[in-house]
Amino acid sequence: MGSAERKEREKHEMRELILSAAKSLFLKEGFEHVTIRRIAEEIEYSPATVYLYFADKDTILCALQELGFRELYKKQQVLAVIQNPADRLRACGKIYMDFAMENQEWYDLMFIMRAPMKAFDTPADWNLGKDTYDVLRAIIIECIEKGYLKAKDPQIACFALWSLMHGVVSIFIRDRAPMIPKEHREHVIDSILDFTMAEFLEK
Amino acid sequence: MGSAERKEREKHEMRELILSAAKSLFLKEGFEHVTIRRIAEEIEYSPATVYLYFADKDTILCALQELGFRELYKKQQVLAVIQNPADRLRACGKIYMDFAMENQEWYDLMFIMRAPMKAFDTPADWNLGKDTYDVLRAIIIECIEKGYLKAKDPQIACFALWSLMHGVVSIFIRDRAPMIPKEHREHVIDSILDFTMAEFLEK
DNA sequence: CATAATTATAAACGCCGTTCATTTATTAAT
DNA sequence: ATTAATAAATGAACGGCGTTTATAATTATG
């Protein structure tokens, strides 16, 4: 009897329905309107029904987060055409920070908000973030190999440069830089990239 | 009739009472237990009474934030005894990141959480953060003057280095670095400082 | 067709920040 | 000292949230 398979498929479809409602709420009305009750309303089910398909709200946010990572990973793909690793490093930073500033709520969900992280205990669940992180790591390893970076430990160099970029955009997103007018943000990001390349890189 | 002054004083005392209850809840039970209802319970008044002394919850969080800034500023004072500006820069970073890791919820409130920032629209309210930021800026200006840093724009250098430090600790605090075991965090912070000093500084 | 299993829901629980009509306490004026 | 005016405090509610549970509706199986 193949009805078990259909059941499985229906369950999966319902999950997708819930996620798409969550996503559309997120995009149209912002994070704070993504509530179980609003999701349920959107798909015309009761709030309790949502809990038949997802353990809790964090699990749903986690799935949304995943979409964000895919988007970022997609944007990183254009880096492949840049030959010089130093140029590629700069472009990587630019793509990262532009993504953050153009999709602030997504970035917030992916890298700042507490909520979705409660859902995974084990680092194994971090696969999504890992892929995007590995893009940076590969570039840095090449930069070290080719002598653009004098750092010997790529782990540290990678974490430091990621931290720098994350620091910049997360300060902006959470409004901790009143000394920098909003109109200057884009320019500051470029200046930070220039500064970093000038100070960090050898040639 | 000096009763108006006494009224003023009583009002101030009540505000202090509320804040001290908020602080003690924050320290003893963590941020999530700092609710208007719990504060009211703590001081044995009704929740509505709290609103006679504070406009809303964010205003209270804002005052808590201020305490955090004072604490950080106090810790920065030991920097004064360090003569060499490059050494002072490193120590400044160390103090900052240690403060963040040892007082994670305070740091979160000061630099990450959205809540207390809704309370101030104008950069004028940022005086507290400005003092601690100026400590870093003074050091960097001296580093540039004395040729330790080749950057010409201290604004950018300052923002970049702050971003780097903030990035590191905020990634840790919000658990975005599963690739780094918790036991290694302290060591990574030191390595980041080494890396930064090595890559950034001239001599 | 009847029974078992699944799916959906209404209603509630226990929180939250906040508001407002009403009561209680204090002060000022007669 | 008594009353009138002012200020302080509150109980109860509003509208929200995530989540749970007992019950009802639906669907599948024997």
Q: Give the Cα separation of B82 and B107 in Å (integer).
A: 25
User: Quick one: A48 and A92 in the same domain?
Assistant: no
Residue B201 pLDDT exceeds 80: no
Query: Which long-range CB contacts under 8 A does B88-93 form with residues at least 24 apart?
Result: B88/B139, B88/B142, B89/B139, B89/B140, B89/B143, B89/B148, B89/B161, B89/B197, B89/B201, B90/B193, B90/B197, B92/B135, B92/B136, B92/B139, B93/B161, B93/B165, B93/B193, B93/B196
Given this model, what pLDDT does residue A127 score?
Answer: 76
Pick the residue from chain B with its C-alpha nearest to A149: B199
Q: In the structure, what pLDDT confidence band is assigned to residue B126 with cuts at 50, 70 and 90?
A: confident
Domain range holding B134? 58-200
Query: Coil, strand or helix: which one is A33?
Result: helix
SS3 B180: coil
Answer for B180: CB within 7 Å of strand D.
Answer: no
Average pLDDT, chain A: 93
Spacing of B1 CA from D1 C1' in Å: 21
- pLDDT for position B127: 76
Q: Give the pLDDT confidence score for residue B139 in this predicted structure.
A: 98
Residues B190 and B101 both lie in one domain: yes
C-alpha span between B34 and B39 (Å, rounded): 7
Does A80 lie in the same domain as A44?
Answer: no
Residue B124 scores a pLDDT above 80: no
Is pLDDT at B109 greater than 70 in this prediction?
Answer: yes
Q: What is the distance between the alpha carbons of residues B37 and B48, in angstroms, rounded to a whole number?
A: 9
Which domain-ending residue is among B10, B29, B54?
B54
* Helical spans, DSSP H, in A46-84: 47-50, 57-76
Residues A41 and A82 in one domain: no
Least confident of A118-127, B15-24, B93-102: A118-127
> Are B2 and B48 members of one domain?
yes
- For residue B4, pLDDT over 80 is answered with no
**Residues A92 and A104 both lie in one domain:** yes
**Chain B: nearest CA to A182, how far in angstroms?**
12
A37 CA to C15 C1' in angstroms comes to: 16
Q: Are A108 and A15 part of one and the same domain?
A: no
Tell whether B118 and B178 lie within a shared domain. yes
In this complex, do B199 and A151 lie within 8 Å of one another by their Cβ atoms?
A: yes
Interchain proximity A195–B157, CB inside 8 Å: yes
Query: Helix, strand or coil for residue B201?
Result: strand
Q: Per-residue pLDDT for B15 more than 70? A: yes
CATH code for the domain in which residue A91 is found: 1.10.357.10
- Are the C-beta atoms of residues A192 and A177 closer than 8 Å to each other? no
Query: CA-CA distance, B171 to B169, in Å (whole number)?
Result: 5
Nucleic strand C under 7 Å from the C-beta of A9? no
Residues of B (50-109) placing their beta carbon closer than 7 angstroms to any atom of strand D are: 51-52
Query: In degrees to the nearest 10, what's the CA dihedral of B62, B64, B68, B74?
Result: 110
Lowest mean pLDDT among A44-58, B50-64, B124-138: B124-138
- Residues of chain A in contact with residue B167, where contact means CB-CB under 8 angstroms, are 162-168, 170
Protein A91 CA to nucleic acid D16 C1', in Å? 44
- On the question of pLDDT at A68 being above 80, the answer is yes
Percent of chain A with pLDDT over 90: 83
- The set of residues, in sequence order, having a beta carbon less than 8 Å from that of B112 and lying 6+ positions away, is A112, A170, A174, B170, B173, B174
Q: Is the pLDDT of residue B1 over 50?
A: no
**Distance, in angstroms, between A25 CA and closest chain B CA?**
20
Q: Across chain B, what does the average pLDDT equal?
A: 93
Nearest nt by C1' to B48 Cα: D10
Q: Which of B92, B96, B90 is nearest to B198 (CA)?
A: B90
Based on the fold, state whether residues A167 and A77 are members of the same structural domain: yes
d(CA B165, CA B169): 6
- More confident of the two residues A72 and A150: A72
Render pLDDT for A168-177 as a digit per residue (tens, 0 to 9). 999 999 999 9
Q: At A70, is the secondary structure helix, strand, or coil? A: helix
B57 touches strand C (CB under 7 A): yes
pLDDT category, A1, cuts 50, 70, 90? very low
Closest-CA distance of chain B to residue A101, Å: 15
Please tell me what DSSP assigns to residue B149: B
* Residue A118 C-alpha from the chain's centroid: 16
Residue A189 and residue A192: Cα distance in Å, rounded?
5
Residue B11 Cβ < 7 Å to strand D: yes
Report the C-alpha gap between A154 and A142 in whole angstroms.
9
Q: How many residues does chain A have?
A: 203
Beta bridge partners of B149: B201
Say how far apart CA B30 and CA A161 lie, in whole Å: 31
**Same domain, residue pair A141 and A185:** yes
Q: Are residues A176 and A152 in the same domain?
A: yes
Question: With an 8 Å Cβ cutoff, are B159 and A151 in contact?
Answer: no
Residue A115 vs residue B154, higher pLDDT: B154
Q: Which residue has the higher pLDDT, A150 or A186?
A: A186
**Pair B177, A159: CB distance under 8 Å:** yes
Q: Which chain B residues contact residue A178 at CB under 8 A?
A: 123, 126
Estimate in Å the CA B40 to C1' D12 gap, whole number. 16
Confidence of residue B77 (pLDDT cuts 50, 70, 90): very high
Q: Are residues A132 and A67 in the same domain?
A: yes
Query: Which range (A33-47, B87-101, B115-129) has the least confidence?
Result: B115-129
Q: Tell me the mean pLDDT in the region B131-157.
A: 95
Backbone phi and psi for residue B149, each to the nearest 5 degrees, phi listed first: -125, 130
Distance of CA A186 to the CA centre of its chain: 19
A107 neighbors A75 (Cβ within 8 angstroms) = no
Question: What is the number of domains present in chain B?
Answer: 2
Dist. CA A67–CA B203, nearest whole Å? 45
Tokens of B171: 């990634």
pLDDT in tens, A114-130: 988 866 666 556 778 89
Which positions ≥6 away from B171 have C-beta within 8 Å?
Answer: A111, A162, A163, A166, B177
CATH of the domain at A39: 1.10.10.60
Query: In this complex, how many residue pairs, one in chain A and one in chain B, have their CB atoms less than 8 Å apart?
Result: 121
- Which chain A residues are within 8 Å of B162, Cβ to Cβ? 167, 171
